[in-house]
Amino acid sequence: MKVLVINGPNLSRLDIRDSSIYGDLSYPQLVNLIESAASSHGFTADVRQSDDEAEIISWLHEAADNSYPVIINPAAFTHYSYAIRDAAELVKSPLIEVHLSNPLAREEFRHTSVISGVANGTIGGFGPNSYALAMSALKALL
């Protein structure tokens, strides 16, 4: 089964971001971890990253149209993109929100997610393992 894994803005630049928050993996290493975790659960991960809100919305529409389960790290869009939230709500297959860091342990503006209300669940704070945990949760939901 195909799982659409959507990563939001700045995630492609993990290797130059604050490693105390985001870890020390490069984005290609994160993609490899995601693909390996998916494979271990019998899934095929289609991993995508965009800094463009419209592109993320179109990918969520694709997931809705094709009944793909979704794992999404909306990154900064988590806190204010009602457009992504509305597109995520169209996905009727399981949708899991993930974060490398724990947003509730960071700045106050990061404490609110507009996405979590339409997700089956949220996993954050476990670094790259947040994605592996999401794959396990997805397997249980399916």
Show the 3-state SS of the chain: CEEEEEECCCHHHHHHCCHHHHCCCCHHHHHHHHHHHHHHCCCEEEEEECCCHHHHHHHHHHHHHHCCCEEEECHHHHHCCHHHHHHHHCCCCCEEEEECCCHHHCCHHHHCCCCHHHCCEEEECCCCHHHHHHHHHHHHHC
Respond yes or no: is residue 99 known to be catalytic: yes
142 is in an annotated binding site: no
100 is in an annotated binding site: yes
pLDDT tens digit string along 52-90? 999 999 999 999 999 999 999 999 899 889 999 999 999
Total structural domains within the chain? 1
Mean pLDDT on 23-29: 85
Q: Which domain holds residue 14?
A: 2-141
Q: CATH number for the domain including 30?
A: 3.40.50.9100
Respond yes or no: is residue 41 known to be catalytic: no
73 is in an annotated binding site: yes
